[in-house]
Amino acid sequence: MHLAVEVTGRPEDATVRYVIDTSASVFTARAFATGLLASFGHNPTIAIPGIEGEVSWNSETVDQSSLRLLIHADSLTVRDDMSDKDRREINRKMHEEVLESDSYSNIVFASSHGSASKTGEGQYWVAVNGELTLHGVTHALTVPARVSLNGDTLKAVGEFSLRLSDYEIRPVSAVGGAVKLKDEIKLSFVISARKA
């Protein structure tokens, strides 16, 4: 992400814009198996590489900072060690039957406020309040993160959970029914952004 700072004495003038650096950011979703495969610990991890967005950060009024993330649904892919055939089947089901990527091509998280506490020089603990639009359904969502500022770089690290049923996504099964997944998934991220 890139950031441009103008300081003229008013808090709004201290806002800096950062653009997400896709190549330096990591976003993953972890699904959890149920039934027979749960005993084998087969919990698929899905890579989310197609992420774009920006942060407007104000160190004087952090709670008024904003974030917008755009994820291209068709970029999601299973990254576990498995046969190519199983990976292709799971990816196909994920895009055609679960995410319906052709119909719902974008996943968007937008926030214009939150709460924050400074934990050190350039270090913050934040709770970002926003709305997540997934599979054509929008719900309020709070995402906790540790944010650090270092030179021209903003870095945010955190994790959160959501229920697929809240977004009208039906239960998932694949590999001839051998892989069945729970409703809740856990998402984790390391987002790097540079000054605009």
Closest by Cα among 188, 164, 109 to 142: 109
Provide the domain count of the chain.
1
> 6 in a domain, yes or no?
no
CA distances from residue 157 to 97, 141, 147, 148 in whole angstroms, order as listed: 30, 16, 7, 9
CA distances from residue 151 to 12, 121, 122, 155, 195 in whole angstroms, order as listed: 20, 12, 10, 11, 9
Domain ranges, residue 82: 11-195
> 5 in a domain, yes or no?
no
Rounded Cα–Cα distance for residues 84 and 133 (Å): 31
- Predicted confidence at residue 95, as pLDDT, reads 92
Q: What is the pLDDT of residues 89-106, one digit of tens each?
A: 888 888 998 899 999 999
**Does the pLDDT value for residue 149 go beyond 70?**
yes
> 45 in a domain, yes or no?
yes
- Predicted confidence at residue 180, as pLDDT, reads 74
**Does the pLDDT value for residue 23 go beyond 80?**
yes
Stretch 170-191: mean pLDDT:
79
> 2 in a domain, yes or no?
no
Question: At 5, is the pLDDT very low, low, confident or very high (cuts 50, 70, 90)?
Answer: very low
- Predicted confidence at residue 106, as pLDDT, reads 96
Percent of the chain clearing pLDDT 70 (strictly above): 85
Q: Say what the pTM is.
A: 0.85
> 3 in a domain, yes or no?
no
> 1 in a domain, yes or no?
no
> 158 in a domain, yes or no?
yes
Whether the CB-CB separation of 193 and 151 falls below 8 Å is answered with no
Q: Which two tokens stand for residue 119?
A: 């934990």
**Does the pLDDT value for residue 18 go beyond 90?**
yes
For residues 133 and 90, the model is more confident at 133
> 4 in a domain, yes or no?
no
Domain with residue 84: its CATH number is: 2.40.128.110
Whether the CB-CB separation of 183 and 161 falls below 8 Å is answered with no
